[in-house]
Amino acid sequence: MKMRNLGQRLANILAFERSCIRSSFGALVRRTSQYASVARLAGAAHRRSRCSGYLRDAALALFLLCFAALPALSGSIFAAGEGRGKWDESAAGRWEALPERHVGGTDNGISVEVTMSPGTGVSYRRDGRWEPAPAALRFSVDNVNTGRNDYLPGEAAFPASVTFVFGKDSLELGVRKRIGLFLRQVWHGFTPSGIRLTYAWGNGLPVGSMYRLWEEETVFVVAGPEETGKTISSPRSLGDDFGAAYGRPPNGPVTEVRVTARRPSLMTTPVHASITVRFPAE
């Protein structure tokens, strides 16, 4: 019903624009005629005014649509950071601000320390081409994001996580599932293309859990609420984890590494977190 109404509204707008063009041309001809009446000219001016109003509203709607799409491209908006090397920095969430942070990046890793007030988050990304070699991960968090459902893409917001992206690999989802996935990400925010392995400090799920968050993203819970205040080291074999998640070896290299820390706006207290990644770890 909504699509039918939208289509009808679009048809009405197009028909009205055609009438605007015809009425404007007719008004011009009548204006040049010595027998044109004042009433006709007034009517033409009124119609032109309505046309201008519609075009102005359409331009405003287009501007607002483009403005709303900007946060989806937040990965390309970088904040200043010292010592991050080849790692690109951005706000983690669509509407989140950058927290207080210290970062040091190298050719094979990164170390991040953040103090996040509610409504802040940061993400570091590096593109490249690496074989699925072992990775050394270390996390420390003094609180979790309580009340979040880690199973739902729209609610999952981990206080600390590391994601490895296999950008040349994907699942055969079919056209309808791809369209549905695209529409959901328009609402919740776009994810990197390709199959992803995410190692996260969970907000309530059992440590050691492995589950599918998105169709092409598998989450491994390496720590949770009971580990808050501790430092957790988690050596990982990306090849073995990929096989456990998808039942086969990866078809291609790791093309991107993301390190993310988030504190949603509904939380009431700040969180201190640190993340260290060394990849490849060999």
- Domain-wise residue ranges, the chain: 2-70, 77-278
Q: By the 8 A CB rule, do 128 and 143 touch?
A: no
Tokens of 106: 């190298």
pTM: 0.67
Give the pLDDT confidence score for residue 1 in this predicted structure.
46
Give the pLDDT confidence score for residue 75 in this predicted structure.
36
Burial of residue 248, with CB atoms counted within 10 A of its CB: 0-12 exposed, 13-18 middle, 19 or more buried: exposed
- Residue 141 binned pLDDT confidence (cut-offs 50, 70, 90): very high
* Ranges 79-93, 101-115, 139-153, 181-195: which has the least confidence: 181-195
- Residue 229 binned pLDDT confidence (cut-offs 50, 70, 90): very high
Selected residue with higher pLDDT from 30 and 130: 130
For residues 207 and 74, what is the distance between their CA atoms, to the nearest angstrom?
31
When the pLDDT of each residue in the chain is averaged and rounded to a whole number, the result is 76
Q: Peptide bond before 280: cis, by omega within 30 degrees of 0? A: yes
Give the pLDDT confidence score for residue 154 in this predicted structure.
73
Selected residue with higher pLDDT from 181 and 223: 223
For the chain, what percent of residues have pLDDT higher than 90?
51
The secondary structure of residue 94, as a DSSP letter, is: T
Tens digits of per-residue pLDDT, 6-15? 445 444 544 5
Which residues are within 8 A (CB) of 274 and not within 5 positions of it... i.e. 6 or more apart? 111, 112, 113, 114, 138, 139, 140, 160, 231
Which residues are within 8 A (CB) of 267 and not within 5 positions of it... i.e. 6 or more apart? 118, 145, 146
Strands 210-214 and 217-223: antiparallel
Tens digits of per-residue pLDDT, 27-37? 433 444 444 44
Residue (of 133, 93, 139, 149) closest to 113 by Cα position:
139
- Residue 162 binned pLDDT confidence (cut-offs 50, 70, 90): very high
Tens digits of per-residue pLDDT, 68-118? 444 433 333 333 345 788 899 999 877 789 999 999 999 899 999 999 999
Residue (of 126, 133, 136, 196) closest to 163 by Cα position:
196
Selected residue with higher pLDDT from 151 and 199: 199
Mean pLDDT of 183-188: 54
Backbone angles phi, psi at 111, to 5 degrees: -130, 125
For residues 261 and 91, what is the distance between their CA atoms, to the nearest angstrom?
9
Q: Does position 276 have pLDDT exceeding 60, yes or no?
A: yes
Chain centre distance of CA 157: 12
Strands 134-141 and 231-237: antiparallel
Tokens of 243: 């096989």
Q: Does position 198 have pLDDT exceeding 50, yes or no?
A: yes
Give the pLDDT confidence score for residue 79 in this predicted structure.
38
For residues 264 and 203, what is the distance between their CA atoms, to the nearest angstrom?
12
- Residue 119 binned pLDDT confidence (cut-offs 50, 70, 90): very high
Return the axis-axis angle of helices 38-69 and 2-32, rounded to nearest 10°.
140
* Ranges 115-129, 204-218, 259-273: which has the least confidence: 204-218
Strands (E), the chain: 88-91, 100-106, 109-116, 120-130, 134-141, 161-166, 195-201, 210-214, 217-223, 231-237, 254-263, 271-278
Tens digits of per-residue pLDDT, 63-80? 444 444 444 333 333 333
179 to 57, 138, 184, 204, 216: CA distances (angstroms)? 29, 36, 9, 31, 14
- Report the CATH fold assignment for 77-278: Jelly Rolls (2.60.120)
Q: Does position 4 have pLDDT exceeding 60, yes or no?
A: no
